[in-house]
Structure 1
């Protein structure tokens, strides 16, 4: 692994440490080391959580893509807040992130959309995500219709399909230790533009 306990304790900013841990996960996790639990909240205050895939990150934040008309899309567009949690069982590590959410640029969304398999691009058109489905046949029929519609040439990105970037104000690194005396290293800031404060928490 690229990270030992001394490096964990000495970390002065979170993004390099996140990159190191994600790199370790790509070598140890059997499936989807970039999978994360994404938490949002609806208008009544009830939380929702589901698994999505991280598709990019840098010092500006953490990016994933979705249908803006889906449940998570609508909830994020209403609150502009979200939380995510990575858990890598093979490494006994977890990272929790909270922050403000913004849309990615059209250029960024277009570039990622073009990189997706053709079938996934068709699926973005065919699926009315998070809405009632009368039958599996209805979905398969929509896929067939859009496959015929876009039989030749590029498949444009739907206006309602794009990405979000979580700009973190809180990042917690958790590392399992014997007897439940875990390491917890917390990075916090008031806004995405503020400097980080660093603190260790009790397990």
Structure 2
């Protein structure tokens, strides 16, 4: 992953592939799983890790994309949980808790995995609130969001009887001249 990725930019790109964060209600219907990187220090970057999704194969459901962020979450210096809980989690992550552990498993991630189930929804809704407040993000989506609905209403083309999927893009480009009350030379064409 490129170190220059911003949190919002990465999630916008993931949404362009399909699915929207914060609307589905279930994590498996969203473009990626979101979680927090547990640490005690402040982070210099928003996205700590991004892992691409692994495709589904026969007999295997596949692994969704995973985004690990540092700027949002319940633990750490920015989170609402007490710092001693973050220290306890980091202590569990730094040692092997039972002798029957797999060679690849070097830490106990059960508590972090549980908290990331809760944090996925919180981070997705945080992103959704940001995306709904920015018109440029809304226009990128196929449905267009509120900005498109407002433009169609101002142009008089957003009513149920006036919608035509073939001409909607043309009408939207001409929304300013359609909504104008003043006749000018540009409206003659």
* TM-score when normalising by structure 1: 0.27
Structure showing greater relative contact order (alpha-carbon pairs closer than 8 Å, 6 or more residues apart): 1
Q: Which has the higher strand share?
A: 1
Bigger radius of gyration: 2
Q: Which has the higher helix share?
A: 2
